[in-house]
Structure 1
Amino acid sequence: MDASSQDVARALLGWYDVHARDLPWRARPGCAAPDPYRVWLSEVMLQQTTVAAVKSYFAEFVRRWPSVEALAAADEGEVMAAWAGLGYYARARNLLACAKEVAGRGGTFPADELELRALPGLGAYTAAAVAAIAFGQRAVVVDANVERVVSRLFAVAAPLPGARVAIRRHTDTITPSERAGDFAQAMMDLGATICTPRAPRCLLCPLSASCLARLHAEPEQFPVKAPKKARPQRAGKAFWIERDGAVWLVRRPGKGMLGGMRALPDDGWSARANGNGTPPLMGPWQPGGVVAHGFTHFGLDLHLAVYEGDDWSSLTASEGEWWPLDSIDDAGLPTLFAKAARLALAEAGEVG
């Protein structure tokens, strides 16, 4: 690093020593590095998810599976159910695959960034974060918060996502060899608490004297974003089939959207196409309302169809289970189907 880069790192680490967020997966500044299992678990959970949302999930996971070996031995259905509500369910499948691979290595995560990258589900960001935070390796860690800080610090004019090459290069120039983990977390904290998307608190920022965006009085213009593409809107149906105080749930295929999760039967809707409207069995159906839900790349209007017949014979031909309505919250339904279940129960007068 040159002198100015050293000044950035020094100023940021000094600020972090005082203002570091107290998070359950972290070690305090100056303390021994945290357990790599906890770092890895938290970083996977935090992908495209807020800290506030992750805290309770992280606490439950480490309570139930306190080590990578314990997670590797867990039932897949239980892990998927515990993940329900966090979204991006491929992360949960990769989480289990990675745990099994690390357990096969004797329960030890590799310290090397490239070796970490070879584990299931660890992309460039997660591998760098684990290497830096858990093992103190110098690694260039760039998440959305860091993107924002660095794009403002250097006034990166190119729009995202193309700007990411330049942002990573600039981040590399200011990343120190010492306290690399603290530096990565300090950048994240700065973006989360000071260098926020709107109304950044520049007067409190330890890097304000070096920030080119502030120099030009336009920090909110960065990072520059390309115009958003219109998000397609899809329509599909979910089928509510109730009998003797229980509802029929199926297990979605292991691969694909919401893979491996318990869910209501549906009509095959996807990100690419509307559902076909076909119910899973013949008989009388009544409309049960509509649930609107947003996925990353499309929106969905899920129409609920309620079965009012009494012919259950064809249900036994498909894989599924009758789940008690009074413990529906324990089924681990993904958010979309949890919304549909709440709607069905509310329409039936079974919830407040």
Structure 2
Amino acid sequence: MRDEIPDPQTFGSVLLDWYDDHARKMPWRISPSDRKAGVMPDPYRVWMSEVMLQQTTVAAVKDYFQRFTLRWPTIADLAAAEDPDVMAEWAGLGYYARARNLLKCARVVTSEYGGQFPDTYDALLKLPGIGPYTAAAISSIAFDRPETVLDGNVERVMARMYDIHDPLPGSKPALKSLAGVLTPSVRPGDYAQAVMDLGATICTPKSPACGICPWRSPCLARQNGTAAELPKKTPKAPKPTRHGHVYLAQTIEGAWLLERRPDKGLLGGMLGWPGSDWGDAPAPSPPFEADWNCLGEEVRHTFTHFHLILKIYVAFVPEGFSPQNQMLLVDKHQFDPGDLPTVMAKAFKLCSTTKGLGF
């Protein structure tokens, strides 16, 4: 039955009718009615939203998107921004390589494409930080090209529509092929968003609302009673746990000692607290000699591939201390913990809760 695929134009029109009535409202999206009236999406805003949404929820992204586009309303504005300002604005959103690639891409589009995004999948794929999914999403949503957009929501919809029991990620190619056949030539940009909305609001991971789904009739998983168990996934290996030390230090006047991390690697380019390497049993490595006090509190944070536990130490910066390498002193009136990545902000919060240093 998996080969009996309905005509994509007819199949797509059913979903588009549903989308016209139920499309989610998002700050980067052009509504179906506006799109029909000839309003075209801004490729800059589509690109920005897609980069932010990688491995991040819509709810978490909305405020970041609005702040970014208010501060840097065009790609030329973003290309001219200072790297530390962009990294600080991104703080807390995670996966910081995205922010570095955001700047790289903005500068390439501005310098090599006159500030206009290329409108084809192949050309978009050559830009920094744009992979197959993002290239397909931009070319489809911003330029109305019939590209196959496959995110987690679409994978789930396709696995259920065709009752695919082969687990992810191995089944990705098959699911993409099925999704590609169903992509219509009419309104492909709206269609791409419609399938994602269907997965996010109706064909949800748990308790899918099959009774009100516009695709309920042909859905094989609904017919076979297997929708709730799909898509299947290959079990993940347990995450290892790494350990480290983090050092929070203030001057007598209240300035904080921070350190900018190397551009490459986790939290690349972000400001944070000086600290040790993260490993099995790292040796303490404070940034200067002092009477360091262990707070007795631990930062616990989970990254994509490992759990992290950091011991917190506090001390006052000695008089005459001169920051070295990537360290700098930030005046207490200029310091904003919101500019720190989440794991570093957790350390600050624990320090303030336990009345460490000058609190």
- Shorter-chain TM range is over 0.9
Q: 1:94: which partner in 2?
A: 101
Q: 1:222: which partner in 2?
A: 230
1:15 match: secondary structure: helix
Alignment of structure 1 residues 1-352 onto 2, 5 Å: 3-30=6-33, 31=35, 32-104=39-111, 105-243=113-251, 244-269=253-278, 275-288=282-295, 289-308=297-316, 311-313=318-320, 315-329=322-336, 332-348=339-355
- Tell me by how many angstroms 1:326 deviates: 4.9
- Tell me by how many angstroms 1:200 deviates: 0.7
- Tell me by how many angstroms 1:45 deviates: 0.3
- Tell me by how many angstroms 1:234 deviates: 0.7
Distance 1:263 1:180, change over 3 A: same
- Tell me by how many angstroms 1:17 deviates: 0.4
Judge conservation of contact 1:323–1:331 (CA < 8 Å) in 2: no
Cα distance per residue 1:26-65 (max 9 Å; x no partner): 1011412210000000000000111111000000001110
1:313 & 1:350 partners in 2: Cα distance? 19
- Tell me by how many angstroms 1:331 deviates: 5.9
2:278 & 2:6 partners in 1: Cα distance? 56
Equivalenced residue count is 349
2:216 & 2:330 partners in 1: Cα distance? 56
Give the TM-score, by structure 1 length. 0.95
Cα distance per residue 1:286-316 (max 9 Å; x no partner): 11211110101100011111125x5355542
- Tell me by how many angstroms 1:325 deviates: 3.7
Aligned-residue sequence identity (percent) comes to 47
Q: Decide which moves more: 340-349 or 230-239.
A: 340-349
2:307 & 2:337 partners in 1: Cα distance? 26
Query: C-alpha root-mean-square deviation of aligned residues, in Å?
Result: 1.9
Cα distance per residue 1:108-158 (max 9 Å; x no partner): 100010000000000000000000000011100001111111111111111
1:78 & 1:330 partners in 2: Cα distance? 14
2:274 & 2:308 partners in 1: Cα distance? 16
Judge conservation of contact 1:33–1:133 (CA < 8 Å) in 2: no
The letter of the residue matching 1:11 is V
- Tell me by how many angstroms 1:100 deviates: 0.2
Unaligned runs of 5+ in 2: none
Unaligned runs of 5+ in 1: none
Judge conservation of contact 1:269–1:276 (CA < 8 Å) in 2: no
- Tell me by how many angstroms 1:10 deviates: 1.5
2:335 match: secondary structure: helix
